[in-house]
Amino acid sequence: MSTGDKINGKFKGKDIISLDQFDPSDISILFKRAKIMREIGANAKPSDILKGNIVTLIFYEPSSRTFGSFSAAVKQLGGQTVEIQNPQQFSSVSKGENLEDTMRVFEAYCDAIVIRHPIAGTASNAAKIAKFVPILNAGDGNGEHPTQALLDLYTIYEKFKHLNNLTAVMAGDPFNSRTIHSLIRGLSLYKGNTVYLLSPKELRLSREDFTNFSQRGVKLIEIFSEKDMPKNADLWYWTRVQKERFKNEKAYDKVKDSFYLTTPLVKKYAGKNTILMDPLPRVGKIDMTVDDDPRALYLRSQIRNGMYIRMALIAEVLGK
């Protein structure tokens, strides 16, 4: 399997490793397909698009939404899954089996492998190993989370009907958040987008990412206090400080509750069309009183869209 090839309108057989593989036209193909998938999902009508197909989900890191929605996506389309959560405990990985052997074994059983792993770059390595089936990156350490960004872009597109000239606030942990890394890559494919990155100084984007993303045309503005947030941004994207990426507890404790999304904050800085997003889980970051605000999409369309986008992506990658 090739690693991270550009999609160029053809998804079939491609590994999905990074948002860098996509152009706006590829994203449009997925959005159109996701709309059809929504009908399939809503109708509870059996679909046989993936009949006879098996997809392996192997998650070396915990997951609720990504795992659950990939699993449901395959089943919604009439396919089946081999599911291994925590292979470090429940597979031969616990006996010391390496990634090479693990990938070669599972590719013999299925038509695609969805992998989550704590080390950035592992999905790409898995794609180099697997010769017969595409690999889909469900989050690689603090690298990327392309399917999350695709569903985030779809959620934003549903609201605004375009992805240009948007102002976003991305809060929390830009240094470690793979969802932020992929979403900035996604927004940079369109014109005139500005991203305010709100974080403690310790958690700002790596200088390498900052330079790399800025060169793509997206305007990045780093802020370290809520007071510098723009009023009436189009979207807020609140992320968790990624505890599992910290080497020492003290360093985590220092920054863990840095930015808390509350109703007063929404009242002060959000506009009537600002959408409130979060890849979840929410850990010390959004007050539950915000949930009832109709602008809060994190427990609404952002969740459902995860399944529709993953249905669309798997069907496309399997050439169905």
Of 189, 196, 192, which Cα lies nearest the Cα of 30?
Answer: 189
DSSP 194: E
Of 187, 203, 170, which Cα lies nearest the Cα of 278?
Answer: 170
- Determine the Cα angle at 291 with ends 116 and 228, to 5°: 85
Strand partners, 136: 16, 114
Active site residue 240: no
* Whether the Cβ atoms of residue 233 and residue 274 lie closer than 8 Å to each other: yes
Site residues for ligand NCD, 219-248, by CB under 6 A, read 239-240
Of 93, 113, 138, 122, which Cα lies nearest the Cα of 318?
Answer: 113
Active site residue 116: yes
Cβ closer to ligand NCD: 33 or 181?
A: 181
Residue 18 interacting with ligand NCD (CB under 6 A): no
DSSP 170: E
Residue 66 interacting with ligand NCD (CB under 6 A): yes
Cβ closer to ligand NCD: 245 or 295?
A: 245
Quick one: which of 125, 137, 179, 305 contacts ligand NCD (CB under 6 A)? 179
Active site residue 181: no
Q: How far is the CB of 158 from ligand NCD (least distance, A)?
A: 18
* Whether the Cβ atoms of residue 114 and residue 57 lie closer than 8 Å to each other: yes
Quick one: which of 178, 185, 204, 285 contacts ligand NCD (CB under 6 A)? 178
Catalytic residue among 33, 116, 117, 204: 116
Cβ closer to ligand NCD: 47 or 182?
A: 182
Residue 125 interacting with ligand NCD (CB under 6 A): no
Which tokens sit at 155? 């959620």
Q: How far is the CB of 282 from ligand NCD (least distance, A)?
A: 9
Which tokens sit at 168? 């976003």
Quick one: which of 137, 148, 258, 305 contacts ligand NCD (CB under 6 A)? 148
Catalytic residue among 14, 33, 56, 66: 66
CA distance 255 to 282: 15
Binding residues (CB under 6 A) for ligand NCD: these are: 65-66, 139, 145, 148, 178-179, 239-240, 279-280
Residues identified as active-site: 65-66, 95, 116, 145
